[in-house]
Structure 1
Amino acid sequence: MDKFMLKSPKNQYLISFLSVATVSLSCLAVRHVIDYRVVGYLLLVVVSLLAIFLEIKPVLLGAVLSALALNFMFIKPYFTLHIDSAEDILLLVMYFIIALINAVLTNNFRRMQRAIQVKQTRASTLKLYNTLLDSLSHELRTPIAAIVGSIDTLQQKNVTLSPETTQKLHNEIEKASIKLNYQVENLLNMSRLESGYIHPKLDWCDVKEIIYNVCNRLSEESENHRIQIEIEDNLPLFKLDYGLMEQIIYNLVYNGIQHTPQGATIKIKARYEVDTDYDSHIDLIKKCVITISDDGYGFPPEEMDKAFDKFYRFKETKTGGTGLGLSIVKGFVEAQNGTITLTNAEEGGAVFELTFVTDCLALNSLENE
C-alpha cells in the first residue's frame, strides 16, 4: 500500500471499507459453491491484513463490517440481519469476537514492533554519535592544537625566531589546516549522504587530470611514499561528477598513505573497457575502471566486509581516523551508479577497484572538430 495513502485517516477508513466490500462481493458471486464458514475465514484474513497496515479504528470498522457482511449476504435468510439457527448466531458472535481480538492483538503487536525499532534506531544512532565524538576528540583536537601552538609561538614578542623556524611554523599551520579541512569535508559529505542530498552533476571529465590534481594536493603527505600513475594512452573522457570523483580518489590515496609504512608504493591505474558483441561488432557496455593499490599490509580478512562501514576502524590500525573515508567513497561511487571492490593482493597490500558504466568521448574526436 502507498505510504502517503496510509497516513490519511480518511483513506484508512476507505481502504478498510473497500477491502471488506471487495472480498464480500467476490464471494457473493460464488456463494452457491462455497460454504459461508469459508467466507468467514476469508473475511478474517482481510481483517488481519488490515491490522498490519492500518490504525486500530479503521481495523475495528473492518471487523464490524465483515461481521455484518457475513450475516447479511451469506447466512440464511439472505439479505436480512435475522438469523434462524442458534448455531449460526453463536458462529457469528464467535466470529465477531475473534475478529475484534485479532484486530486488537495484531495492531498492538505492530505498535510494539515500531517501538522496538525506534528504540534500536536510537541506540544505534547514539552508538554512532559516541564513536564519532570519540574519533573527533583526537582527529580534530590534534590539528587544532598544532595551529594554536604555532600561532602562540609566532606571537611571542620576547622571542626572536629564525626565518627557518618561522617558515617551519607556517608549514605546520598549513598542514594542520589541510588535515582539519579534510576531516570537516568528510563530516559534511557523510551528512549529505545520510540525508540523500547527493545529486551527481554528470559532465565530461578527464580522469587523468583528476588523478594528477589529487596527487599534487597530497604531495606533502606522500613525501615518504612512492606514487606510481599508470594511465592508458588516449584515455577517453567519461561522463562523471568531477567533484565526487576527486573526493573518491583523494580519500583512497590518503587512506593508502595513512595505513601503509614509509617507503610503500601506491599505484593508481585508469583504463577504458568495453563489452562488445563480436557477432554484430557493436559496443554494448562502456566502462571506466580505476584501480588504486598499495604494497602495504592489506586488510584483515575477517574484517574486510566492514571496511566500508561508517565509523569503523580496524582493530590493529595504529593511526587515527574517523572511519568515514571509505564509507564516503562507497557512497559517492554508488551515487554515480558505480561499484567498488576491495581485495588483498597475493603479494600483500590492498586493491580497490572502481568500475563506472558511463558514456565516453574519445579525445581524438575533439581534436578533429
Structure 2
Amino acid sequence: ASHQLRTPLQALRLRLENLEHDAADGIPADSRDLEGSLAEVARMSRLVDGLLILARAEQQLSAPIQTDVAELVAGRIDAWSAFADDQGVEITSTVSLGSNACITTGNLEQALDNLLSNAIEASPSGGAVVVSSSTNSSGNVLLTVSDSGGGMTPEQIDRAFDRFWRPAGAGSGGSGLGLAIVRGLIETDGGSVELAPSASGGLAVLMSLKSC
C-alpha cells in the first residue's frame, strides 16, 4: 500500500513544484499541471477510501443481520439509474422477492456500488447490466451482477482480486481495489465471490450470501 500511495504523491509533488517555479518566475500556471494535480489528489482519495473500507471490513465492527436482498438491490439500482441512463446502459434486476441473507449493514451496499459502477462503465452504449439471483440447497442467496462489456481473460480473472492490480490498458482513474473490496466485504459475512464470463460476453460477478 505504501508504494501505491507513494507513486501518486511523487507525481503530485513534481507538478506542484512546477507550479511553484512558474509562480516565482511570474509565469501563468500551466493548466495541465493544475488538472494533473487535481487528478492525483482524486486518485489518492480513492486509494485511501478503499483501504479504509477494507480495514473496516476486516475488523467486522458489527454483527450481520437478516437483510432483504431484493429490496437492497432495488435501492442501489435506483441510485445508479441516472448514471446508467447517461451512459446509455440499461440496468435491471430479476432478484427474487423474499431473498434474505445474513449481512452486516452497509457491506452489500458498498459491494454493489463498486460492482454496478464497474459494470456500467464497462458496458457500451446500448448495453445492459443485469442483477439476478437464485437460492442454493443450503438456503444461501446467489447474487450475480452481469455486464455486456469486453469481459476478462482467464489470466485476468486469476488476478482480478489482487489488491492494486489493474489490467493492461486500463485508464488512470481506478485504484485497483474495487474487486478486492467486494471480496473483503462479502467474505467478512461468510460469503464468497467468483468471476465468470457473462451470457453476453462480458463479466459476471457471482456472490454467495449466507442465510441466517
- TM bin, normalised by shorter chain, reads 0.7 to 0.9
Q: How does 1:351-362 map to 2 (within 5 A)?
A: 351-359=204-212
User: How far off is 1:300 after superposition?
Assistant: 2.4
| Residue 3 of structure 2, aligned match among 116, 130, 143 | 130
Aligned residues: 180
Which structure is richer in relative contact order (CA contacts within 8 A, separation 6 or more)? 2
User: How far off is 1:292 after superposition?
Assistant: 0.5
**TM-score after normalising by structure 1:** 0.44
User: How far off is 1:200 after superposition?
Assistant: 4.6
Higher share of residues assigned helix: 1
CA distance in 1: counterparts of 2:80 and 2:45, whole angstroms: 13
Secondary structure of 2:208's partner? strand
> AA paired with 1:242?
T
Residue aligning to 1:191? 55
Q: How does 1:195-206 map to 2 (within 5 A)?
A: 196-206=58-68
**TM-score after normalising by structure 2:** 0.74
1:310 lines up with 2:163 in the alignment: yes
Residue aligning to 2:115? 252
Q: How does 1:202-221 map to 2 (within 5 A)?
A: 202-221=64-83
CA distance in 2: counterparts of 1:336 and 1:204, whole angstroms: 11
Question: Alpha-carbon deviations, 1:235-264, whole Å to 9, x = none?
Answer: 243222231011111111111122332332
8 A Cα contact 2:133 2:144, kept in partner: yes
CA distance in 1: counterparts of 2:148 and 2:207, whole angstroms: 18
Residue aligning to 2:14? none
1:129–1:299 Cα change, 3 Å? same
1:328 lines up with 2:181 in the alignment: yes
User: How far off is 1:330 after superposition?
Assistant: 0.5
> AA paired with 2:51?
L
| Residue 243 of structure 1, aligned match among 83, 101, 106 | 106
Identity of aligned residues (%): 26
Secondary structure of 1:217's partner? helix
CA distance in 2: counterparts of 1:322 and 1:136, whole angstroms: 14
Residue aligning to 2:147? 294
CA distance in 1: counterparts of 2:119 and 2:203, whole angstroms: 8
1:272–1:136 Cα change, 3 Å? farther
User: How far off is 1:189 after superposition?
Assistant: 0.5
Secondary structure of 1:231's partner? coil
User: How far off is 1:354 after superposition?
Assistant: 0.6
User: How far off is 1:356 after superposition?
Assistant: 2.0
User: How far off is 1:134 after superposition?
Assistant: 4.0
Residue aligning to 1:158? none
CA distance in 1: counterparts of 2:78 and 2:186, whole angstroms: 22
RMSD: 2.7
8 A Cα contact 1:132 1:322, kept in partner: no
Residue aligning to 1:53? none
Q: How does 1:136-285 map to 2 (within 5 A)?
A: 185-193=49-57, 196-223=58-85, 224=87, 225-232=89-96, 234-273=97-136, 275=137, 285=138
8 A Cα contact 1:297 1:350, kept in partner: yes
> AA paired with 2:2?
Y
1:320–1:347 Cα change, 3 Å? same
